[in-house]
């Protein structure tokens, strides 16, 4: 298995797209990069280059064994290593993510959430407990969680990130519209939902 | 004002990052590409190239007028054109987005949601009405909405997209983990939250 770190981020971002396509297809026959490219409306050379970053080896003219390719992509994405994650902020988005089943596809289990609102802490959402931030160090330590999702307003996001890093979190998915300052060994990905909708709308062709 | 369509998508994706930084800074003095680059941990050449796609014109050694640069970026992102959007799927994520205030920063107003669950339709979330899908054509037509956010499970996302396109939606932000098939003149952006957390975690350095 090649190291994930050697894959360009743009290729890494496309691996889940291939994975979803391959899993939806079913069966365990062969699938070629050309078939994948046509189904997803992508260039075949790009697909072949992306898949070359995984450990999958295609056969000339027939392509990849579907099952092996799925496994190779899952290895790259770390799906076959169980990992635990916490959610910081149990407002609308945080609660939606606590109830979301899609993380399991990537071997990720959400184990707890934190919220500074005492009315939210102490309860649970979808069976996941919600704690006050003061309990973060204990809960994160005991769970061994290295991943966190930040779902607090922009004004509270940096303080949340600082606390999470102190508790041993090594990778953050950040929904707040701010650039987080974190140590170099902490990985951050940002999802700005409103910005994404604005970018989608900037692609509107007519008018 | 240059046409948004001429901007590479990678540059377009970074514009909201600059915009958030500039808006957080306050004041109306000059700001240079070097200052922006250092604050955001990016390369200065990249920042300058990205900003060159906007109508902003920097002055040698002093940089850009902050207010003008904000306006130029907002023009590129279409923030200064009021646009209306609808949400398809009023489950946890859909309801969270109905309550989310961040869209206003990009001139986008969420006007309604649709859900096939009769228990959800007929009510409202954060003052936004929730309708049955059967009412989509009328509601979208009357509101003039061209944007939509798909928040239904993967199995229902293609049918939702088909219906939205029939109703005149031209740009879709899709949270379902499927590749949507839409006409060439419809713009789609995908956000796979679980995949993003997996990619963030693949960047964890040690262990």
Listed residues A43, A62, A77: the one ending a domain: A77
Q: What is the CATH number of the domain that holds A186?
A: 3.40.50.720
Q: What is the CATH number of the domain that holds A20?
A: 1.10.10.10
In terms of CA atoms, which chain A residue is nearest residue B188?
A200
Strands A147-150 and A83-88: parallel
The answer to whether residue A145 sits within a structural domain is yes
Same domain, B154 and B190: yes
**Partners of A87 in the beta sheet?**
A113, A149
CA A187 to chain CA mean position, Å:
12
Cα separation, A147 vs A188, in Å, equals: 10
Tell me the shortest Cα–Cα distance from B58 to chain A, in angstroms.
Answer: 23
The answer to whether residue A207 sits within a structural domain is no
Same domain, A139 and A169: yes
Q: Which of B65, B57, B120, B68 is nearest to B93 (CA)?
A: B120
Cα separation, B120 vs B59, in Å, equals: 54
Q: Tell me the two tokens of residue B122.
A: 């007929």
Examine the pLDDT at A3 and tell me if it is beyond 60: no
Q: Is the complex ipTM more than 0.95?
A: no
Same domain, B148 and B72: no
| pLDDT score for B41 | 84
| pLDDT score for A7 | 83
Task: List the single residue in B5, B172, B178 with the smallest CB-CB distance to A200.
Answer: B172
Please name the residues in contact with B168: beta carbons below 8 A apart, sequence gap of 6 or more.
B140, B141, B145, B146
The answer to whether residue B205 sits within a structural domain is no
In terms of CA atoms, which chain B residue is nearest residue A15?
B195
Instruction: Check CB contact under 8 Å for B78 and A177.
Output: no
Q: What DSSP designation does A130 have?
A: E
pTM, to two decimals: 0.87
The answer to whether residue A204 sits within a structural domain is no
Helices A136-143, A154-166: inter-axial angle, 10-degree rounding: 50
| pLDDT score for B205 | 61
Same domain, A183 and A94: yes
Q: What DSSP designation does A55 have?
A: S
Same domain, B99 and B70: no
The stretches in chain B having pLDDT less than 70 are 1-5, 26-28, 205-207
Same domain, B88 and B190: yes
Q: How many other CB atoms are found less than 10 A from the CB of residue B109?
A: 14
Preferred mutation among B41, B157, B199 to probe A, highest tally of A CBs within 10 A: B199
Tell me the shortest Cα–Cα distance from A93 to chain B, in angstroms.
Answer: 5
> Tokens 């994405």, residue?
A77
In terms of CA atoms, which chain B residue is nearest residue A3?
B202
Listed residues B52, B77, B102: the one ending a domain: B77
Please name the residues in contact with B185: beta carbons below 8 A apart, sequence gap of 6 or more.
A205, A206, B170
Strands A128-131 and A124-125: antiparallel
Instruction: Report the percentage of chain A scoring pLDDT > 90.
Output: 71
Same domain, B171 and B136: yes
Same domain, B70 and B94: no
Same domain, A191 and A155: yes
Q: Provide the domain limits for residue B98.
A: 83-196
Q: Tell me the two tokens of residue B115.
A: 């859900």
| pLDDT score for A183 | 96
Same domain, A119 and A40: no
**Partners of A189 in the beta sheet?**
A173
Q: What is the largest CA-CA distance in chain B?
A: 61
Reduced to 3 states (helix: H, G, I; strand: E, B; else coil), residue B112 is strand
The answer to whether residue A203 sits within a structural domain is no
The answer to whether residue A52 sits within a structural domain is yes
The answer to whether residue B207 sits within a structural domain is no
Instruction: Check CB contact under 8 Å for B12 and A202.
Output: yes
The answer to whether residue A140 sits within a structural domain is yes
Same domain, A121 and A38: no
**With contact defined as beta carbons under 8 Å apart, do A4 and A78 qualify?**
yes
| pLDDT score for B203 | 75
Summarised one tens digit per residue, pLDDT across range B93-112 is: 999 999 998 999 899 999 99
Same domain, A133 and A55: no
Reduced to 3 states (helix: H, G, I; strand: E, B; else coil), residue B17 is helix
Tell me the shortest Cα–Cα distance from A8 to chain B, in angstroms.
Answer: 11
Listed residues A36, A53, A77: the one ending a domain: A77
| Number of compact structural domains in chain B | 2
């Amino acid at each position: 298995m090649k190291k994930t770190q050697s894959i360009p981020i743009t290729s890494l971002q496309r691996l889940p797209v291939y994975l979803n396509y391959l899993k939806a297809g079913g069966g365990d026959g062969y699938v070629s990069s050309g078939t994948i490219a046509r189904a997803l409306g992508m260039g075949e050379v790009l697909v072949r280059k992306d898949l070359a970053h995984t450990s999958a080896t295609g056969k000339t003219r027939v392509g990849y064994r579907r099952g092996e390719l799925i496994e190779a992509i899952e290895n790259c994405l770390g799906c076959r290593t169980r990992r635990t994650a916490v959610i910081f902020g149990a407002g609308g988005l945080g609660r939606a993510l606590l109830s979301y089943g899609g993380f399991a596809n990537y071997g990720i289990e959400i184990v707890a959430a934190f919220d500074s609102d005492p009315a939210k802490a102490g309860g649970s959402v979808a069976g996941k407990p919600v704690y006050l931030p003061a309990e973060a160090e204990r809960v994160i330590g005991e769970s061994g969680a290295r991943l966190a999702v930040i779902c607090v307003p922009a004004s509270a996001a940096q303080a949340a990130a600082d606390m999470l890093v102190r508790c041993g979190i090594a990778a953050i998915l950040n929904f707040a519209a701010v650039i987080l300052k974190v140590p170099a060994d902490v990985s951050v990905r940002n999802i700005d939902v409103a910005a994404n909708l604005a970018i989608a709308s900037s692609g509107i062709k007519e008018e």
